[in-house]
Amino acid sequence: MSHCLSVQTEGLPFGKNVRLLGKNQDGLVALEKPENILSHPNSEKDIRKSLLHTSYDLDGEFYFWEAAGERRRAWLVNRLDSATSGVILLALDGDLAEVVKKQFSGHHVNKVYYAVVRQSPSVPAGTWQDTLKKDVYRGNRLVKGGQRIPAKTRYQLVTRPKGGFPVSLLKLMPVTGRTHQLRVQCSQRGHPIVGDRTYGKFSFNREVRAETGVKRLLLHSAETSLRYAFRGQAREFRAESPLPDSFQQVMRFRPGVTRGYGGGD
């Protein structure tokens, strides 16, 4: 790895509780995004709530800042909902960003998420294929659900606790990358993700929050891996983020035994 790349990485203006997970010699960087942090700011007032605490070019899809008298840039390669935590990728080179984005758009990136959902699927593993509605603009007019797009996710039941909340931990492997895809697909099958304030079961969310103190959406991007070619070199890149404690807190809850956030069995 070049000294220049090391300096650029060390100079990233990390947002609150954002952590470096990994980097490679091309300038591909994996960060761990906490929940309720934006993948990028939509305006200057959002900067303090974003992945990097600096300005963002919405058209070019890159962060930019000055360091040691030089203009620095970091291109956002993929996005996570604000409420979702885990692995997110940046590129410190614009050409690299385009290469990796094509891997995402071509469904050549392996992504693993974990979610705590209400109840559990009757079939412990399988594939969900749906057609989701997307809002689109036609001229200056917003058409709600005006576009229909395919969404595909492979899922696997990991564990289902006994004696606590009626929940289960699912491993979700999206093939496509639609907005809110995992949240919608889980909800449509009667297994909304715990803590989902848009597609969830709100009364159940309130119960979980009251018993455990956990307020967040229990959806986490745990692993991202891909292969790509850049400047004549074949690369492999993989980054992992451990499951947050809040997931186990909800899974381990037992009435009359577990009390409050941070408790055990």
The string of DSSP codes covering 140-173 is TEEEEEEEEEEEEEEEEEEE--SSS-SEEEEEEE
> What pLDDT shows up at residue 145?
61
Residue 147 CB partners (closer than 8 Å, separation 6+): 133, 134, 135, 136
- Using left for φ > 0, alpha for ψ between -120 and 50, and beta otherwise, residue 235 falls in beta
> What pLDDT shows up at residue 265?
31
> What pLDDT shows up at residue 146?
64
Buried b (16+ CB within 10 A) or exposed e, 149-167: eebbbebebeebbeebbeb
If the chain, 265 residues long, is cut into consecutive pieces of 10 residues, what is the mean pLDDT of each piece?
A: 53 95 97 98 95 97 92 96 97 98 96 98 97 74 74 97 96 93 96 96 96 97 98 97 97 79 39
> What pLDDT shows up at residue 68?
82
Any idea how long the chain is? 265
> What pLDDT shows up at residue 143?
63
First-residue to last-residue Cα distance in the chain: 45
Round to whole Å and give the CA distance between 89 and 78.
6
> What pLDDT shows up at residue 147?
73
Instruction: Write down all domains in the chain, each with its CATH number in brackets.
Output: 111-223 (3.30.2350.10)
Token pair 């959902």: residue: 117
Q: Which amino acid is at 25?
A: Q
- Tell me which residues are annotated as active site: 81
In contact, 90 and 75? CB cutoff 8 Å: yes
